[in-house]
Amino acid sequence: MALASSDLILRKMEESQERFDPTHIRPSAISSCARKQVYAALGYPANEEAMRELEGIAFLGNLLDRSLADFWSRMYPGKTYRQFELRTPYGIVAHPDIWVPGLNLDVEVKSVSVGAKYYGLPKPEHVDQLQLRLHFHHKYRKKEGVRGEIIYFFRETFLDPESWAPLSFTVEYDAEKGQELETRLNYIIECVERKELPEREGTNPDYFPCKSKTKYLQAECPYRDACWEGHTEEPATLVQEAEEILQRYAELDGMRKRFQQNADAVKGELQELQEQLNAIFDREQTERIAAGGYSMKRSYTPPRKVEYEAKGYYRYYLKKEEK
């Protein structure tokens, strides 16, 4: 049987995973939890399922940066690099998604969900990732005036849904910030060399960055179980003045859940009617029917999965305390 595109993509994803060595310290993750990087570099066993959750997102980014690099190289033939090797004298290598020497331009390509706009773009961790590379260009390649750019593609819409234009941000080199990030990188390297785990940067096993949950995606750090083994939560701080707020919050949250349950019930009945309608559409071999002053058209959208990237923001977990 001929190879399907979906199989080909899966095969390429698996190949790229085989090339990925989790024990390499990754400057691209400079702002993610340092302890997580050290776990990976020291080869601690990871939760494989949690690892796979983000593979698709990473691969999509790869496809996008390949296309964008192609556009740039057509404008500057032979002078555009994908995954250029930006080496430090101590063996750490950073990889700009796209490096356009003719423009002194280092491009970071990101695919995010539309929801990410709600929390603000560019994401600070993406700026840090690029800032560290600008620092390497400046310090180790003696390149002056390298311009950094982060381009965001939105997984649901491709373009910015507010302006229907691509969304990119310029990042200027900041020597002080660059050095601060390199110092953090050196700290991670030292921890790996000493085989010493840094302090946790997550504050609770159920919250980001250790665990996050959105409408479409449940993600957790692949080292969460090992990291929080034996942890027991400290008792909550009693703050009398928060009483009214928490009670009102509980009331509204209860209302929201009840509305949601009603909406789910209506949705269930609508789905039953849709199945009855499908039988009619199929039998009549049409995609448009009319009756009783209404017309109905159906169109098929193939199944797809929309995923959200998690970032640092507050979530509120309300729990009824025992008396």
- Give the residues lining the site for ligand SF4 (CB under 6 A): 33, 35-36, 39, 200-202, 209-210, 221, 223-224, 227
User: Measured from the CB of residue 219, what is the shortest distance to ligand SF4 in angstroms?
Assistant: 11
User: Measured from the CB of residue 228, what is the shortest distance to ligand SF4 in angstroms?
Assistant: 6
145 torsion bin: left (phi>0), alpha (psi -120 to 50), beta (else): left
User: Measured from the CB of residue 124, what is the shortest distance to ligand SF4 in angstroms?
Assistant: 16
User: Which residue's CB is nearer to ligand SF4, number 82 or number 211?
Assistant: 211
User: Which residue's CB is nearer to ligand SF4, number 26 or number 36?
Assistant: 36
Strand pairing class (105-112; 147-154): parallel
Supply the DSSP symbol for 114. Answer: G
SS (H, E, C) 126-193: HHHHHHHHHHHHHHHCCCCCCEEEEEEEECCCECCCCCCCCEEEEECCCHHHHHHHHHHHHHHHHHHH
Residue type, 150: I
User: Measured from the CB of residue 81, what is the shortest distance to ligand SF4 in angstroms?
Assistant: 32
User: Measured from the CB of residue 202, what is the shortest distance to ligand SF4 in angstroms?
Assistant: 3
User: Which residue's CB is nearer to ligand SF4, number 110 or number 200?
Assistant: 200
Supply the DSSP symbol for 300. Answer: -
Distance, CA of 186 to CA of 302 (rounded, Å): 47
User: Which residue's CB is nearer to ligand SF4, number 180 or number 206?
Assistant: 206
Supply the DSSP symbol for 11. Answer: H
User: Which residue's CB is nearer to ligand SF4, number 130 or number 191?
Assistant: 191
User: Which residue's CB is nearer to ligand SF4, number 36 or number 133?
Assistant: 36
User: Measured from the CB of residue 127, what is the shortest distance to ligand SF4 in angstroms?
Assistant: 20
User: Which residue's CB is nearer to ligand SF4, number 34 or number 109?
Assistant: 34
The alpha helices in the chain, defined as continuous H runs, are 5-19, 34-41, 48-53, 55-75, 124-140, 175-194, 224-227, 243-284
Distance, CA of 287 to CA of 303 (rounded, Å): 19
User: Which residue's CB is nearer to ligand SF4, number 27 or number 202?
Assistant: 202
291 - beta bridge partners? 294
- Number of Cβ within a 10 Å radius of residue 57: 19
The dihedral built from the CA positions of residue 269, 271, 275 and 280, taken in this order, carries a sign that is positive
